[in-house]
Amino acid sequence: MNGASHLVGGMTAAMVLGIHSPAPIVVVAVSALLPDIDRPNSLLGRFIPVLPSILEKVPGKRTITHSFLFGAGIWMLINLVDPAMAFAFLIGYVSHLILDIFTGRIAFLFPLPQKFGIPLFGIPPVFIETAAMAAWGTWVVLGGYNYFYIT
Ligand SMILES: [Zn+2]
């Protein structure tokens, strides 16, 4: 999936789970993009020097940054500082993994090499992404942006 789709997925999960305030929303947005720092051309990866290229070559795409180990480690670090933000991180991160599992395969149990995926009846991921973006756009046009307390 592309970065925009992961943002939509993260924001949707945040809405469903009652995240309204700007700071946690930003954490959800960043954490929804974070796993794809293993690609230099990803939405977040293009702003980070060197690291995405290394991650893409050494452990490979959709491996360490898409794993339970990585997510739990980051979650624990954030939880030491601010538990509310740790919950926001979890929402964005898990939404990313769920979307990637339905549109591809990820090494969720890294360092074990096996990758897991759940194909949606052979529906190409681009159709899922397009439908999600259309639904999100419709919701925003119909006033959904009022849900957030951003003024
Ligand atoms: Zn990903």
41-89 pLDDT tens trace: 999 999 999 999 999 999 999 999 999 999 999 999 999 999 999 999 9
CA of 55 to the centre of ligand 1 (A): 13
Residue whose token pair is 């006033």? 143
Q: What is the mean pLDDT of residues 12-25?
A: 88
Q: Each residue of 97-131: pLDDT tens digit? A: 999 998 889 999 999 999 999 887 778 878 878 88
* Farthest CA pair distance, the chain: 46
CB 32 within 8 A of CB 92: yes
CA distance 102 to 56: 21
Quick check: 40 pLDDT over 90? yes
Q: Greater confidence, 76 or 142?
A: 76
Contacts for 140 with CB less than 8 Å, ≥ 6 apart:
none
CA of 107 to the centre of ligand 1 (A): 10
CA distance 24 to 87: 9
CA of 35 to the centre of ligand 1 (A): 5
CA of 82 to the centre of ligand 1 (A): 25
User: What's the whole-model pTM score?
Assistant: 0.87
